[in-house]
Chain A
């Protein structure tokens, strides 16, 4: 309605409101049509987790004894102590095999006492955070609990992260058969990574040890790796470049691996094999299983790719008994 002065205040407000709405519509249309639909984030690269070691350092430590944690302690000490691998304030990931919903006695997963001791060593060396994680085959909650690794790791001060909580990121692998892989995200944030596999028989690869343990960092449709398993394992190992490898041979699954189940397939070896050369460690492990390292494709191809030396005897080795 108007007044004698021409257009009334109400009419003016109305026109201003309509004008504002029109301007907003135009602005929104322009802004939205400018946006690019985001593509998936580009794959990231995995860090190199190795440390510089003075020449003449011990490269392979083998400990035998009835106490698994003591075996780990002696092996780490022989290699120069955890302080040689973990610096104060660093983020450490301890990556065991938590793949299967089994008890420690069934030797399908890494021994929880071994994992717990490594967590303690890393914490004592000044790590700002120690994470224990894996991508199991069976239900994650059940695996973390029944293997004993979840409770033991947490009691030692680590944070346990399941795949659902940790999530996955696409990582540039750049290998011969694996170019991009979906990887458990907490590993990407790590400064140091300790690979803690368990020694087991495996139907496809013959044995599963250090190199095969990297299968557990993967999500996606990782089962397709089996089609070219040996070069794929080498690709993953070349990407990971771990700080330290500790092969748990406290109990060995001698048959029906990697899932096992029958206590009759388990042999107690009470041995820990630790070092910085994954090929040497896997080669030593093959010997423990009465297999020839030269028969295992991932060892032969890994050595060819420069991952390490299959002839572990040529390294500086220290053996201790407890």
Chain B
């Protein structure tokens, strides 16, 4: 029967897009990336496009890909949720596995609830915040959340356990917390299927709002319907198909059309929208209140000390990152850069970037450094928060052409072996990748404890040459807290976070 075929088609597309998503995510590594457009799922995300357009008044990189998706949603409804969204597919599968055999229970789990209005409030707050210059959509956006969770928690854990995929162990700061939204969302399927999609997802809410204008809808013909409620037993969106189907909630899973014994439910071209409903259940006052809250949160969060102009020294941004206000107006916290970084140095910020910068990328040289020849983070960033650098641009040509600096190394003479204990070392000088080296040494004669003398190489850092890559800190043999450490000062992208006089006051 035709409806069964279409539902089968939906399932096939769900599987296809989930596999595509996983493939692109797994390909986001220096060894496998080749020419694949790994950031595609993030680039087509309308919530990312709308948020960054609101905050920067421009669409960056490939975010224009969201436009066709918006247009298709205006025509067909929330097909993305039912056919494409990888997180949606995971929820759908879990909901299916956990489903009860009894129709009564399924009807209860899939009934339309008032709580569906919450996601619209979430959307309004996020758009409000974006309007005020801070993109926080990535906290709850399903694509960003799933990408982040798989990148910093699930795949590293799998790789560490099996020894495959990554070279060596891969760990991320507070990874369970950074992936917490994802895990919580998955667990919420125990309450009822697709809880996240129905109650929290701001992307679903956006697509739901767009679906108010959809030309194709699920409609119930009352004269043919015998009120058996079978259609509502497996409704993925809890869209009330047995009553007046809600175009704002319907995910086009086509379970209803397949289940109806009378053909009373169908997906039709209905330019007038008659016979369907399209409310959000969120009153205008609450829309405004939520948006206003989103707007207000921005200056409130920024009134804390972590914001510019004196940043946390640990806030070392990836090379090619825009200056901080622009960065926070663009970063989706998707973790694509963290996934791509070959050394695992890019980590989700916990406190380094303040509350607003939670889970945005920072370099932690103690864990991994920035490979001089690598520009992957900028290449995979979907919003242009990190610009893709040309390798020659990143390295520069001292002293004529400035390199891209992300910070400055400083020798801790109280811990450094040649300084603190008259012991030979200079691994930092050895591994420094710039030519001439930013870490250099001076030969100094010292008197040892027993009175004899020794000539030692003692390291210094030349701030005109240091790019802050952090390899010195990563390789320093003082294992727990390195004797040479990088902080964010000197970063090229900032006009205030500088040390050396470079012409500009």
B343:A261 contact, CB within 8 angstroms: no
A162:B477 contact, CB within 8 angstroms: no
Give the chain B neighbours of A202 by CB distance below 8 A: 430
Segment of A14-22, A38-46, A135-143 engaged in the interface with chain B? A135-143
For B433, give the chain A residue with the smallest CB separation. A259
Cβ of B401 within 8 Å of any chain A Cβ, yes or no, is no
Give the chain B neighbours of A146 by CB distance below 8 A: 373
B457:A204 contact, CB within 8 angstroms: yes
Segment of A122-130, A218-226, A268-276, A304-312 engaged in the interface with chain B? A218-226
**Option from B30, B31, B436, B477 in Cβ contact (under 8 Å) with A256:** B436
Q: A139-B342, A226-B427 are in contact. Are A265 and B435 (CB under 8 A)?
A: yes
Give the chain B neighbours of A139 by CB distance below 8 A: 30, 167, 342-343, 371, 374
| Number of chain A residues close to chain B: CB under 8 A | 30
Q: A256-B436, A261-B435 are in contact. Are A141 and B342 (CB under 8 A)?
A: yes
Cβ of A260 within 8 Å of any chain B Cβ, yes or no, is yes
Q: Smallest CB–CB gap between A127 and chain B, Å?
A: 27
For A145, give the chain B residue with the smallest CB separation. B31
**Cα(A203)–Cα(B31), bound, Å:** 32
**Option from B371, B423, B436 in Cβ contact (under 8 Å) with A142:** B371
Cβ of B431 within 8 Å of any chain A Cβ, yes or no, is yes
B424:A223 contact, CB within 8 angstroms: no
Give the chain B neighbours of A141 by CB distance below 8 A: 30-31, 167, 342
B417:A227 contact, CB within 8 angstroms: yes
Give the chain A neighbours of B471 by CB distance below 8 A: 137-138
Interface residues in A154-193 by Cβ distance below 8 A to B read 162-164
Contact with A along B131-151 (1 / 0, CB 8 A): 000000000000000000000
B373:A101 contact, CB within 8 angstroms: yes
B372:A101 contact, CB within 8 angstroms: yes
Cβ of A229 within 8 Å of any chain B Cβ, yes or no, is yes
B373:A226 contact, CB within 8 angstroms: no
Give the chain B neighbours of A227 by CB distance below 8 A: 417, 423-425, 477
Contact with B along A211-238 (1 / 0, CB 8 A): 0000000000101101111000000000
B427:A223 contact, CB within 8 angstroms: yes
A262:B374 contact, CB within 8 angstroms: no
Cβ of B45 within 8 Å of any chain A Cβ, yes or no, is no
Cβ of B441 within 8 Å of any chain A Cβ, yes or no, is yes
Interface residues in A265-317 by Cβ distance below 8 A to B read 265
For B434, give the chain A residue with the smallest CB separation. A261
Q: Smallest CB–CB gap between A25 and chain B, Å?
A: 31
Cβ of B414 within 8 Å of any chain A Cβ, yes or no, is no
Give the chain B neighbours of A140 by CB distance below 8 A: 167
**Cα(A25)–Cα(B432), bound, Å:** 60
B435:A256 contact, CB within 8 angstroms: yes
Cβ of A258 within 8 Å of any chain B Cβ, yes or no, is yes
**Cα(A247)–Cα(B457), bound, Å:** 27
Give the chain A neighbours of B395 by CB distance below 8 A: 261
B477:A223 contact, CB within 8 angstroms: yes
For A262, give the chain B residue with the smallest CB separation. B435
Contact with A along B244-258 (1 / 0, CB 8 A): 000000000000000
Cβ of B476 within 8 Å of any chain A Cβ, yes or no, is yes
A262:B342 contact, CB within 8 angstroms: no
**Cα(A285)–Cα(B433), bound, Å:** 24
Interface residues of A (CB under 8 A from B): 101-102, 137-142, 145-146, 162-164, 202-204, 221, 223-224, 226-229, 256, 258-262, 265
Closest 9 CB pairs of A and B: A262-B435, A261-B435, A223-B477, A164-B167, A139-B342, A223-B427, A164-B168, A224-B477, A256-B435
Q: A163-B168, A261-B395 are in contact. List 12 more A-B contacts (CB 8 A).
A: A101-B372, A139-B167, A142-B342, A145-B31, A204-B426, A221-B479, A223-B425, A226-B424, A229-B424, A259-B437, A261-B433, A262-B435
